[in-house]
Amino acid sequence: MANRGFEVARLPGFATTAAVVFIALYLPIFTLVAYSFNASQSVAVWGGFSLDWYVKAWGNQQIKDATLRSLIIAVFAAAISTSVATMAALGTTRRAAFKGQTFIYVMINQPLMVPEIVTAVALLILFGIIKQATGIQGIGYVILAHSAFCIPFAYLPIRARLEGMDLALETAAADLYATPWQTFRRVTLPLLAPGIAAGAMLAFVISLDDVVITEFVKAGGQDTLPTYMLGQLRRQLTPEINAVSSMLLLVTVALLTAFFLLTRKKND
């Protein structure tokens, strides 16, 4: 009998374990979406099917303002962090190994290893010093905080894409007397585009979802959608929060689906 080799799916209990994991992951999400259509004021008692909470959420000006603010912050944070991450990835992969390279890699990914609340407190202190010295206020501090936190999330897929790219085309471009900028613009950047798109998408979602750093850095009247929802949970818990969460989930799924279709088309 031929040896099939090792297969994880053939291990005893694999199917049961997989089912339990998927249920634990997705049952709370399905429950959230289902109860966003709850006609009852309670979030735990089913009172029949209704779209009232979606209508109320859509007509809530505070939710609209917080959503728009979240989108603006996420777009700017994704653009800034992806640009910095792209330069960092090029600087750590498209050159010979050098002393201190591991240290630089660790420092770039520092926000992933340090508890988020530590980063939030550090940024709060830093921005407090800047505000006191310059008198400058505004939402720019939240954008900068999100950008700094999102850099490693954008860096990892971009670096992975660079490490998986064949250097032959870049070498051939150099042999044909292309300048480094021409090589980057016409060869490296098009090949790197899926990694940059993945990094930007991940940074956007992380920024859109952030609560801890935003809660520490934001000033009065700068609530994002997650911090607004947190405030509502502290005051009055209604299915309106379920409706807002479901809409936010829909946006995230739409982004992931669009990115998947885009990258699949490029790879075909």
Written as tens digits, the pLDDT of the chain (268 aa) is 455 666 777 777 778 888 899 899 888 888 888 888 888 877 777 888 888 888 888 888 888 888 899 999 999 999 999 999 999 888 888 776 677 777 777 788 888 888 889 989 999 999 999 989 888 888 999 999 999 999 999 998 888 888 877 777 777 887 777 777 888 888 888 888 888 888 898 899 889 888 899 999 988 888 888 888 888 777 777 778 888 888 888 887 887 776 666 556 454 4
> In the block, which residue shows the tokens 């080799």?
5
Burial letters for 226-241: b for 16+ Cβ neighbours within 10 Å, e otherwise? Answer: bbbbeebeeeeebbbb
Give the model's pLDDT for residue 121: 92
Q: Residue 174 falls within a domain, yes or no?
A: yes
Q: Residue 22 falls within a domain, yes or no?
A: no
What's the pTM value of the predicted model, to 2 decimals?
A: 0.81
Q: Residue 225 falls within a domain, yes or no?
A: yes
Number of separate domains in the chain = 1
Q: What is the Cα gyration radius of the chain?
A: 23
What is each CA distance from 70 to 65, 99, 145, 158, 199, in whole angstroms? 9, 40, 13, 24, 18
Q: Residue 19 falls within a domain, yes or no?
A: no
CATH number, domain containing residue 176: 1.10.3720.10
> In the block, which residue shows the tokens 């894409």?
161
Domain of 199, in residue numbers: 77-267
Q: Residue 30 falls within a domain, yes or no?
A: no
Q: Residue 210 falls within a domain, yes or no?
A: yes
C-alpha 163/C-alpha 154 separation (Å) is: 15
Q: How many CA atoms lie within 13 Å of 141's alpha carbon, on the beta-carbon side?
A: 25
Q: Residue 26 falls within a domain, yes or no?
A: no
C-alpha 223/C-alpha 215 separation (Å) is: 8
C-alpha 37/C-alpha 20 separation (Å) is: 26
Q: Residue 8 falls within a domain, yes or no?
A: no
Burial of 210: CB neighbours in 10 Å, binned 0-12, 13-18, 19+:
buried
